[in-house]
Structure 1
Amino acid sequence: MGSVLRAWALLTERPLSLYAVAVLRIGYGLLYLVFLLREFSHRDAIWGPGSPWTPDLARRLFDQTGWVSVLTLSDSRLYFELCYVSALVVSLLFLLGWRTRAVSVLFAVVVASFHARSIFITDGGDNLVLLMALYLVLTASGRRWSLDARRARRTLGRRNLPALAPQLEDARRTLVTAVHNCGLLVIGVQVCLLYGAAGLYKVQGGTWGSGTALHYVLNLDLFQPWPALSHWADDQVLAIAVIGYLTVLLQVAFPFVLFGRLKYPVLTMLLGMHLGIAVLMGLPLFSGAMIIADSVFLPDRFWIAAGRLGRRVLGREAEPKSARGTAPEAPCGAVPKQGGRVLPVRDLP
């Protein structure tokens, strides 16, 4: 019973990793915004009425698969252009954290709609962004580093919320906290399954066992954005063999190193691996999606320190809270337990 009570307390007493989920929100919002802007000149050929995969064909596939997309509700070009502009606006608002609870739902609808509209040209990066967009709906990703958090700090002490019965308020806070923590857990499990499955599949392949897998990868014409660079890397025979073995080891071991300090060098090496994939194979969306997903395993103290360092680099040292007439922010991990005392406004969803 003691273990059950501790698990229940961990799940319901305070929201975990608020800075980490904020990084996920910012990362995926920015990634999808850049993606839509990059494909702006090709938008009609990929998702619009002028696409070879016409809206009618997409609707026929949806009848078989159960997928849906707001892009296929009309064949009008004006409707498509409005949808595309709306997707850009939603991605920007999600990135900034404006009305995050509602906008996170809209962002998930946008990603799912664009993903389903031309599903035959998607890859693993698109799949991961879709999954993360759905999972982030469950989390309180707007409580840190967002316009919502900024507005809550400014209105602290001046905003009157409707009073609820203490029991009802406790139940609401417990539910919101539990849903956030469950969403965070699902995100972590998803990344672990992704790495573990990828590593186990590689173990079964003969080319990975012989250390020659990367040789074949580097000689695929479809994944050679810079052929000269790919050929140079292919000439480093010993290096690509070692990197191949190390890749398999990192992916298989990833789920088992998350609860110790060994995860930091593993995450650093995975960062290097994904940067290499982005450059050598021309898959920036996939690499960006994986790098952002990996950031969920970094503790909030890391992101707090990173934020302070960023302010120093930009010459914007944080102004003391007392000078702005607001109460000092509680340190990470010091969110009060669920009970009789009402949480500050900035910690409400």
Structure 2
Amino acid sequence: MTETEIRTGAGDNVVLSSMKTMAYDLLERFSGRRQALVGAALTRIALGAVGLYYYLRDYLHRSFLWGPEGVWPWENFTGSHNGGFSVYSLSRSETWFQLAFHAGAVIALLFMLGWKTRAMTVLHYIFLWSLQQRNPLLLDGGDNATVIALVFFVFIDSGSRISLDARLRRRKQVKSDAGSMRYRVGSLLHHAGLLAVILQVCTIYLVSGMYKVQGERWQNGTALYYVLRVGEFGWPGVNHLIYEHATLVVAMTYATVFFQLAFSFLLLKRSLRPFAVTCGILLHLGIAIFMSGLITFSLTMIALELLIMGDGHYRRLAAKVQKVVGKRGSLEPATNAV
């Protein structure tokens, strides 16, 4: 063997060893400690609140909108063209409908509070999907993002923070099983679920942005004007405050497109994630306010974006809030002049 071959072989061994070390470090990082637990808890609470909103919003008219003799004919619901499973299709009885509807509302509340979180995640997915299948005319697009996210949330540890489960563990002083094989496998599934939800959000933004750049009105900056003039979703007496200002409409139209296209790339740099999430929340708050018919869609997207920031981001945010509150609380009241 020549000297060159020996050097080449040694170099290959060094590269291979370095790659193995990097792989082991990544495996240890993502299996030894779970990330984004605060964000997962906040997203769980928000998704549970949105699910509960579906039930409470139409509670007084539930039989008319969702019931077996409701506005959406039973034949359309159970026809051969509707292949989706629904617990409401098991019986046409009004009693069964009432039981299923109220059970779904209770499950949504328990999921939001984080009681038996993993089991409630599965049940909340089943009952919310079933309700959405009963009357698709009442949906606004947020339902698709919600049910997809709930599938991934089965693998995410969303009950470790801000939940009844976490409170019960602290009260019973249950020891952590960190380091065990079960914990490590669960951590890998947890991070895989986080990645899947984040990719779902990125896909929604990227596809939406790509469709917009192909539209003539988005290209000339007038799309937002026409969107705000849609009577079905508009807020009478408020939307005109925006669409009557041409410069503002053009700026907001282009900013929306640029942000949606750039969102996925902003997440690549950790320090820019709070900025991306803040812009996304403001965007969907604007949609919820000025396009009031898309409230559930906006709230669902806001909920999913809360998952993107890591625990470190939330700790720093909490520290800043406490600092501001502490400064305000430490101000002494002014004395009266004599």
1:29/1:95 contact within 8 Å kept: yes
| TM-superposition CA deviations, 1:56-110 (whole Å, max 9, x none) | 32111xx445310001111111111111111111011111111111111111111
Q: Which amino acid is 1:13 matched to? A: G
Displacement of 1:259 in angstroms is 3.0
Q: Match of 1:234?
A: 243
Q: Which one-letter code corresponds to 2:155 in the other structure?
A: L
Indicate the residue corresponding to 1:17 in structure 2. Answer: 36
> What is the distance in 1 between the residues matched to 2:176 and 2:219?
64
Query: How has the CA–CA distance of structure 1 residues 37 and 121 changed in structure 2, closer, same or farther, with 3 Å as cutoff?
Result: closer
> Partners in 1 of 2:70 and 2:245 — Cα distance?
42
Partner residue in 1 for 2:313:
302
Aligned to 1:34: 53
State the superposition RMSD in angstroms.
2.4
Give, in whole Å, the separation in 2 of the partners of 1:98 and 1:267: 28
1:117 positional shift? 1.5
Aligned equivalent of 2:119, options 102, 116, 121: 102
User: Identity of counterpart residues, as a percentage?
Assistant: 35
Structure 2: segments with no counterpart, 5+ residues: 1-18, 326-338
Runs of 4+ in structure 1 off by over 6 angstroms are: none
> Residue 329 of structure 2 corresponds to which residue in structure 1?
none
Check 1:99–1:131 CA distance in 2 against 1; reply closer, same or farther (3 A cut).
Answer: same
Of the three residues 74, 88, 94, the one matched with 1:55 is: 74
1:146 aligns with 2:156: no
Q: Which has the larger radius of gyration?
A: 2
Distance of 1:132 and 1:94 partners within structure 2: 14
Aligned to 1:265: 275
| Cα distance in structure 2, aligned partners of 1:89 and 1:234 | 42
Unaligned regions of 5+ residues in structure 1, if any?
162-168, 314-349
- Structure 2 SS opposite 1:270: helix
- Per-residue deviation at 1:303? 2.9
Assess, with a 3 A threshold, how the Cα gap between structure 1 residues 52 and 266 changes in structure 2: closer, same or farther: same
Equivalence for 2:181: 171
Alignment of 1:140-289 (within 5 A): 140-156=157-173, 170-224=180-234, 226-260=235-269, 261-282=271-292, 283-289=294-300
The one-letter code of the counterpart of 1:290 is M
Tell me how far apart the structure 2 counterparts of residues 64 and 42 of structure 1 sit (CA, whole Å).
26
Shift in alpha-carbon separation, 1:40–1:305, aligned structure 2, 3 A:
farther
SS of structure 1 residue aligned to 2:282: helix
Q: How many Å apart are 1:55 and its aligned residue?
A: 3.0
Q: 1:7 to 1:120 in 2, by over 3 A?
A: farther
Q: Given that residues 274 and 313 in structure 2 are in contact (C-alpha distance below 8 angstroms), is that contact kept between their aligned partners in structure 1?
A: no
Letter of the aligned partner of 1:270 in structure 2?
G
Structure 1 position 92 matched with structure 2 position 94: no
Q: Deviations over 1:33-52 (max 9, x none)?
A: 12311111221222111223
Contact 2:228 2:291 in 1 (8 A): yes
1:180 Cα deviation after fit: 1.0
Which residue in the other structure is 1:292 paired with? 303
**CA offsets per residue over residues 291-337 of structure 1, 9 Å max, x none?**
11111111213334556758x97xxxxxxxxxxxxxxxxxxxxxxxx
Q: Which amino acid aligns with 2:46?
A: G
- C-alpha distance in 2, partners of 1:304/1:82? 42
Report the counterpart of residue 332 of structure 1 in structure 2.
none
TM-score calculated relative to the size of structure 1: 0.81
Question: Which residue in 2 is equivalent to 1:344?
Answer: none
Structure 2 counterpart of 1:75: 92
Q: 1:302 to 1:11 in 2, by over 3 A?
A: closer
CA offset digits 1:263-309 (Å, max 9, x no partner): 33332222222111111110221111111111111121333455675
Match of 2:70, SS?
Answer: coil
Q: How many residues align?
A: 303
TM-score by length of structure 2 reads 0.83
Distance in 2, matches of 1:243 and 1:104, equals: 37
Contact 1:200 1:252 in 2 (8 A): yes
Structure 1 counterpart of 2:92, which letter? D
Q: How far did residue 127 of structure 1 move?
A: 1.3
